Amino acid sequence: MIDSFGRRITYVRISVTDRCDLRCRYCMAERMQFLPKRDILTLEEVARLSDIFIGRGVRRIRLTGGEPLVRRGIADLVRWVGTRVGDGLEELTLTTNGTRLERFAGELFEAGVRRINVSLDSRRPERFGHITRGGDVRQVLRGIDAALEAGLAVKINMVALAGLNEDEIEEMLLWCGSKGLDLTLIETMPLGEVEEDRTSHYLPLDAVKRRLEPRFAMTPSLRRTGGPARYFEVPALGIRLGLITPLTNNFCAGCNRIRVAATGTVYGCLGHDQKVELRDALREGGEAAVNALLDELLAGKPRRHDFRIAAAAPAVARHMSVTGG
């Protein structure tokens, strides 16, 4: 799959649900209205779509949500898609908030997953509870330990938020070093209407990097995971620090991904509404109909997103949980 700008699409993020058991302030409204079950793809349909993507040259698939581990039958889906690892698919990964990881870590490893991302914006119980509107960080930390024990490589994703957790970034980096976990910092993105003022919590990561450099020597890394992060080696800690900077350093020139929502809607860009609808095509027209729509999507895939943190309205109306991050 190649778009009109010559970018080869080898990475697909597939949301298996828009539901989540947390309500992070920068991601969701406090009272979310979730999709009825009839509107979302069955797990068998997700597996069929995965096969179509692999047949068209996709080499990495990441399962996302909402929170993917709240989807009933998720372990079966992971096993189905996991059978394609080494058979056209190079890697199956998953992004999770970690609340159910203690239960599923072993099954994920047995199904062929070797690497996961865990979203963790604070290790301080009260602060974590505030950011997530009621989450228990101890549950997540137990999940991370279970994942490591199962043999999974774990990377921590931390949304850097001015006035909320910016004073904890160095602490998080040190903790990750003590456990051998890479850390990726992410700038908050203007997606969906939320009660919080994103402008007041926007923290440019270039400034964060300058603040960390006097204490931690960092050198650019050759590490690539298929995503948008720029990685830096932190030799003193033996880990890598990744920076995802949609606002301060646009990374769209190297975009290699598309995103499938739980409804089968496929977005060419996180920051645009350009999309095609695959659910009915998959159910009624099969692979040929799906491929025709994918060709249409690729022909219109935007050159870049247009995130502006100070804009009066978010870049798109849909919440991050709808698209799958």
- How far separated are the first and last CA of the chain, in Å rounded? 21
Q: What letter does residue 221 receive in the DSSP assignment?
A: -
CA distance 164 to 187: 13
Q: Angle at which helices 137-150 and 125-132 pack, to 10 degrees? A: 100
| 176 has binding-site annotation | no
| 259 has binding-site annotation | yes
| 20 has binding-site annotation | yes
Mapping DSSP to helix (H, G, I), strand (E, B) and coil, where does residue 13 land?
strand
| 59 has binding-site annotation | no
| 258 has binding-site annotation | yes
Read off φ and ψ for residue 164, nearest 5 degrees: -120, -50
| 42 has binding-site annotation | no
| 227 has binding-site annotation | no
Could you give the C-alpha distances from 134 to 23, 24, 162, 178, 251, in angstroms and in order? 8, 9, 20, 27, 33
Which parts are annotated binding residues for GTP?
13, 62, 95, 155, 257-259
Q: Which residues are annotated as a binding site for S-adenosyl-L-methionine?
A: 26, 66, 119, 189
Binding positions for [4Fe-4S] cluster = 20, 24, 27, 252, 255, 269
Enumerate the known binding-site residues: 13, 20, 24, 26-27, 62, 66, 95, 119, 155, 189, 252, 255, 257-259, 269
